[in-house]
Amino acid sequence: MKKKLEIEGKEITIRDEDGLEWFSLNELSKKFSQGDSSVKIRNYFTNKDNLNFLETYEKVYNKDFNSTGMGLVKLNNLRNDTKVSAGDYVEKTNAKFIKVKQGRHGGTFATFDIASHFMMWLSSIFMVYFIRDYRRMKEIEMKENNNLQLFFAEKNVDNLLETLRNEQDRIGLLKEEKKAIEEKIKRLSED
């Protein structure tokens, strides 16, 4: 499922997959910075501070994170002739909060926390708006969800009351039938 987040008049797509919300780093880079987005993303993954952040984040939230692979990523970034891409990073470390998709709707995607960090690296000013507008969207979703829950709770109460009324009517009919049967039995016993 896709949602849209508007940040300072620019629309950002959020994809719901695997129970997480994913932001396209390519889209964020194109809309909030100058230059080639693929170069920006590659530079993000070659920055020592960014790699330290990603390593710590994955270690805290991903029990399957491959620290040995992360060591290889860092070693490759030290070499002048080799720079690690987002795909290499994900493959070597078993990262769970960044993914790379190939093809028409492909790109590099990250969850909110990592997308926020990426935004801070691109533009600390837009990162503030990114967080503000995302929180606002979540508050609206929560209100809508609460309203939806309230609506269904009211519907359930209405259905329960209708069921109780139907049961009361059925009990009334059963009492009338019982009374008619008792009267028939009384008449038969008198005859």
**Residue 191 is assigned to a structural domain of this protein:** no
CA distance 29 to 131: 16
Is 162 domain-assigned?
no
What's the CA gap between 131 and 94, in Å, rounded? 27
For residue 10, the tally of other CB atoms under 10 A from its CB is 15
For the chain, the maximum distance between any two Cα atoms, rounded to a whole number of angstroms, is 115
- Flag whether 169 is in a domain: no
Residues contacting 180, CB < 8 A, separation 6+? none
Residue 172 within a domain: no
pTM of the model: 0.69
Q: Sort residue 89 into left (φ over 0), alpha (ψ -120 to 50) or beta.
A: alpha
What residues in the chain have per-residue pLDDT under 70? Answer: 1, 80-82, 146-153, 157-158, 191
The Cα angle at residue 181 between residues 175 and 182, in degrees rounded to 5: 90
Overall domain count for the chain: 1
Residue 177 lies in a domain: no
Over residues 26-73, the pLDDT tens digits come to 989 888 878 888 889 988 998 899 999 999 999 999 999 999 999 988
Q: Is 146 within a domain?
A: no
For 113, the domain range is: 2-140
157 within some domain: no
Would you give the end-to-end CA distance of the chain in angstroms?
77
All residues at 6 or more sequence positions from 57 whose CB lies less than 8 Å from its CB, including other chains: 97, 113, 114, 117
- Say if 148 falls within a structural domain: no
**What's the pLDDT score for residue 177?**
83
- What confidence score (pLDDT) does residue 35 get? 80
Q: Which helix (H) or strand (E) holds 113?
A: helix 112-122
Predicted pLDDT at 164? 76
pLDDT for position 175: 83
Q: Supply the pLDDT for residue 100.
A: 93
